[in-house]
Amino acid sequence: MLGTGETGVLLRDNGLDVPLANGETAYFNYYWLRDNCPTSFDPETRERVFDVFGMDTAPKARSAAISAGDLEISWADSNHITRLPLKFLSAYAKGEKRPDIANLPRVPWYGDHYAKIARFAYDDLVADKANVLEWTRAMLTDGVALLTGLPDTDAALLDTASLIGHVRPSYFGLDFEVKTHIKPTNLAYTSKALPLHTDLPDEDLAPGVQFLHCRANTVDGGNSIFVDAIAVAEDFRKAYPEDFDLLVATDVPYYCEHESFDMRSRQRVIELDEYGNISGVTISQHHADIFDMPQDYLDRYYPAFCRFGKMMRDAKYLMRFHLNGGECIVFDNHRIVHGREAYSATSGQRHLHGCYTDRGELRSTFRVLSGEGRFK
């Protein structure tokens, strides 16, 4: 303990105690105080330009006091003065995570969701960012939205995606065409039924947000089937807590191998976010590699995995709908498990144009359009 300032600031060996509002006192570390001095940030780039690694000795206050609502520190090793508003200090006093406006509660939905799905007209999104804000909000809470009135052009998909993020390529390229291919490299490129899945679990970081622009859908069959895996996983946690823990803790191998690629990655079927909430799933039977865990571990894992897969197919969760020409379904690929019924390839046209953006950029767009940020 080095001394007491007149305004109640107590200097200690590695930091200081500051009286904050409501008579509470909070401790702050000297490195943290020096590193986060407002002068440490470039006002133009908004990046930190102070070099904490370049200090020859550990920072220490010569004196510190409260003045006009600021903590004012005079540093022992330089003539530098740091002024930090007490309001700023209060936000970090308890060592809690910085609040994030994009951390919206996820609202589980069920098989009857199609009538309630958030819908936005393409022209309205292009005309007014306030509509894009509501679209991103729906993506964060519901994980799915239906856009209508897209132009019947190749450019419409990428133009739409660019409203909330940059298109992020996969090993299938910048975008992809879902229709019957002559030499398919993917079940989606056939007219067969496509079991419930999330896309590309064989990538290190599976795509975050998926866009499917329906250019035509006049075939017999081919309905889309969407499930909110948050709703399923929440129920699964209650019904089978031990199975839930296994699916959260176990890395499962996924693959996609063809002539020109051999993608492999390991993912957990149920994913938790940094707050311990269920944030989504990564699941795909057709991209699951041969499970290479010890066989006696599989005695427990397979039944849990199958119970979850079966629960996902319960009618309670299945949103079945027909995607129409000019519509674009947009969904969180780590949350919404999707599939398709088989269709008759000769009965008409079925053509979807798809691409991905990332979830981080979705949250970024939501924060920016909400007017939130440290530099606002």
Q: Give the shortest CB-321-to-Fe ion separation in angstroms.
A: 15
- Tokens 């509501």 sit on residue: 134
The pairing of strands 144-148 and 119-121 is: parallel
Least Å distance, CB 112 to Fe ion, is 23
Q: Which of residues 27-56 bind Fe ion (CB under 5 A)?
A: none
Q: Which residue is nearest to Fe ion (CB)?
A: 199
The contact mask relative to Fe ion for 124-163 (x = CB under 5 A, - = no) is ----------------------------------------
Closest approach of Cβ 244 to Fe ion, in Å? 25
229-239 and 241-249 helices cross at what angle (nearest 10)? 130
Q: What are the contacts of 162-165 at 24+ separation with CB within 8 A?
A: 163/125, 163/126, 163/132, 163/135, 164/132, 164/135, 164/136, 164/139, 164/209, 164/357, 164/361, 164/362, 164/365, 165/209, 165/357, 165/358, 165/361, 165/362, 165/364, 165/365
DSSP H or E segment with residue 363: helix 359-370
Tell me how far apart the terminal alpha carbons of the chain are, to the nearest angstrom: 37
In whole angstroms, the minimum distance from the beta carbon of 198 to Fe ion comes to 7
Amino acid letter, 209: V
Q: Which is nearer to Fe ion, 23 or 173 (CB)?
A: 173
> In this complex, which beta carbon is closest to Fe ion, that of residue 108 or of residue 207?
207
Binding mask 184-213 for Fe ion (x = CB under 5 A): ---------------x--------------
Cβ closest to Fe ion, residue 134 vs residue 199:
199
Q: How far is the CB of 157 from Fe ion (least distance, A)?
A: 15
* Nearest by Cα to 198 from 268, 146, 141, 148: 268
Q: In degrees rounded to 5, what are phi and psi of residue 357? A: -130, 180
Among residues 217 and 365, whose Cβ is nearest to Fe ion? 217
**Nearer to Fe ion (CB atom), residue 224 or residue 365:** 224
How far is Cα of residue 61 from the mean position of the Cα atoms in its chain? 41
Between 82 and 333, CB nearer to Fe ion: 333
Please tell me the distance from the alpha carbon of residue 43 to that of residue 373, in angstroms, as a whole number. Answer: 14
Q: Is 41 or 321 the residue whose CB approaches Fe ion more closely? A: 321
**Count of residues binding Fe ion (CB under 5 A)?**
1
Least distance from Fe ion to the Cβ atom of residue 282, Å: 12
Instruction: Name the minimum Å distance from CB 197 to Fe ion.
Output: 6
Per CB under 5 A, residues contacting Fe ion are: 199
